[in-house]
């Protein structure tokens, strides 16, 4: 099964064993362990991990020996170290099922002692453990809607400071709950080809100003991507089409997807 590294979450990198006086030359001796992040930022309650194609997925870790080579026979185990009531983790297969979206701990008198919305997952071989990765459990989204309009205009004078235009959308679990930590996919529909890599065109960027076509919804269920024009942008007076989509874990479009934006460009 193919996997990809999610840029917004980053890899959960090597957990190194305690210092020892001599490095083992045994090819099956595990020196480091890497937990590969899931492709999606969350799982739906009552469902398991999926990849971006809709196929059922699982946690996966890779053990390495002192020569940096994988150790396929390493007895890797998976477990949750926080938010244990949010997920069920099969320690051997790495299969994870979302149980609920919020984990509330109470004392013997019924008072709330802690509330968490994330589970922390690790992989381990013996006493060697990875840095924890985060899994969020969310409700299944029912609709993708524009926060305001689907028609905007961007007026930019070249040579001035870069200008951005937000394309706000909201992901909902009806009737009114929002869905955070959920993957949204963007695509330019006009003009084509437009793959978001050419700085001479307007680009979709995240909060860090890096061009991207994938976003994760905020706690309010919103997207943070925006169109950006810079002094590199060619002189254009035209329109631009952008589609925004959300998918169920099985990769079926959420109602309202794709949401089509039309932007009038006035760049001079």
**One-letter-per-residue 3-state SS of the chain:** CCCCCCCCCCCEEEEECCCCCCCCCCCCCCCEEEEECCCCCEEEECCECECCCCCECCCEEEEECCCCCECCCCCCEEEEEECCCCEEECCCCCCEEECCCCEEEECCCCCEEEEECEEEEEEEECCEECCCEEEEEECCCCEEEECCCCEEEEEECCCCCCEEEECCEEEEECCCEECCCCEEEEEEEECCCCCCCCCCCCEEECCCCCECCEEECCCCCECCCEEEECCCCCCEEEEEEEEEECECCCCCECCCCCEEEEEEEEEC
Last residue of a domain, one of 138, 158, 178: 138
Choice among 9-13, 198-202, 235-239, 252-256 with the minimum mean pLDDT: 9-13
Environment class of residue 5 by beta-carbon count within 10 Å: exposed (0-12), middle (13-18) or buried (19+)? Answer: exposed
Task: For residue 3, tell me if it sits in a domain.
Answer: no
> Which residue range forms the structural domain that includes residue 205?
143-267
Share above pLDDT 70 across residues of the chain, in percent, rounded to a whole number: 91
Structure confidence at residue 23 (pLDDT)? 55
Structure confidence at residue 229 (pLDDT)? 93
Structure confidence at residue 106 (pLDDT)? 72
**Per-residue pLDDT tens for 214-251?**
999 999 999 989 999 998 888 777 899 999 999 999 99
Structure confidence at residue 6 (pLDDT)? 42
Tell me the average pLDDT of the chain.
Answer: 89
Task: For residue 235, tell me if it sits in a domain.
Answer: yes
Structure confidence at residue 33 (pLDDT)? 96
**Per-residue pLDDT tens for 84-93?**
899 999 999 9
Structure confidence at residue 24 (pLDDT)? 66
Q: Are residues 161 and 252 in the same domain?
A: yes
Task: For residue 4, tell me if it sits in a domain.
Answer: no
**Per-residue pLDDT tens for 115-165?**
899 999 999 999 999 999 999 999 999 999 999 999 999 999 988 899 999
Task: For residue 2, tell me if it sits in a domain.
Answer: no
Task: For residue 92, tell me if it sits in a domain.
Answer: yes
Task: For residue 1, tell me if it sits in a domain.
Answer: no
Task: For residue 215, tell me if it sits in a domain.
Answer: yes
Q: Are residues 32 and 114 in the same domain?
A: yes
Q: Are residues 165 and 248 in the same domain?
A: yes
Last residue of a domain, one of 108, 138, 168: 138
Find where tokens 């469902």 sit: 47
pLDDT bin (cut points 50, 70, 90) of residue 209 is very high
Structure confidence at residue 80 (pLDDT)? 95
Q: Are residues 61 and 127 in the same domain?
A: yes
| CATH classification at residue 193 | 2.60.40.10
Number of domains in the chain: 2
pLDDT bin (cut points 50, 70, 90) of residue 18 is very low
Structure confidence at residue 176 (pLDDT)? 77
Q: Stretch 190-214: mean pLDDT, rounded? A: 92
Q: Are residues 88 and 204 in the same domain?
A: no
Q: Are residues 256 and 173 in the same domain?
A: yes
Q: Are residues 223 and 236 in the same domain?
A: yes
Q: Are residues 213 and 156 in the same domain?
A: yes
Q: Are residues 101 and 155 in the same domain?
A: no
Structure confidence at residue 175 (pLDDT)? 79
pLDDT at 78 over 80: yes
| CATH classification at residue 99 | 2.60.40.60
Last residue of a domain, one of 107, 138, 169: 138
Q: Are residues 130 and 158 in the same domain?
A: no
pLDDT at 170 over 70: yes
Share above pLDDT 90 across residues of the chain, in percent, rounded to a whole number: 74
Q: Are residues 124 and 173 in the same domain?
A: no
Q: Are residues 23 and 116 in the same domain?
A: yes
pLDDT bin (cut points 50, 70, 90) of residue 101 is very high
Choice among 22-31, 52-61, 118-127, 192-201 with the minimum mean pLDDT: 22-31
């Amino acid at each position: 099964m193919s996997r990809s590294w999610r840029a917004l979450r980053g890899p959960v990198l090597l957990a190194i064993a305690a210092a020892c006086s001599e490095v083992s030359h045994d090819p099956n001796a595990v020196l480091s362990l890497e937990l590969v992040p899931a492709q999606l930022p969350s799982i739906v309650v009552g469902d398991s991990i999926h990849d971006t194609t809709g196929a059922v997925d699982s946690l996966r870790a890779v053990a390495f020996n002192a020569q940096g080579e994988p150790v396929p026979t390493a007895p890797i185990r998976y477990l949750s170290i926080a938010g244990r009531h949010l997920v069920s983790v099969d320690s051997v297969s790495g299969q994870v099922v979302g149980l609920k979206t919020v984990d509330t701990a109470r004392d013997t008198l019924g008072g709330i002692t802690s509330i968490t919305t994330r589970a922390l997952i690790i992989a381990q071989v013996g006493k060697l453990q990875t840095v924890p990765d985060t899994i969020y459990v969310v409700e299944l989204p029912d609709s993708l809607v524009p926060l305001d309009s689907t028609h905007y205009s961007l007026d930019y004078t070249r040579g001035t400071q870069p200008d951005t235009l937000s394309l706000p959308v909201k992901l909902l679990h009806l009737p009114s709950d929002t869905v955070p930590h959920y993957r949204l996919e963007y695509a330019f529909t006009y003009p084509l080809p437009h793959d978001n890599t050419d700085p001479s065109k307007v680009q979709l960027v995240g909060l860090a100003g890096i061009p991207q076509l994938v976003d994760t919804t905020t706690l309010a269920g919103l997207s943070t991507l925006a169109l950006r024009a810079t002094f590199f942008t060619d002189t254009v007076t035209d329109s631009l089409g952008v589609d925004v989509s959300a998918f169920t874990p099985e990769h079926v479009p959420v109602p309202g997807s794709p949401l089509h934006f039309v932007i009038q460009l006035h760049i001079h």
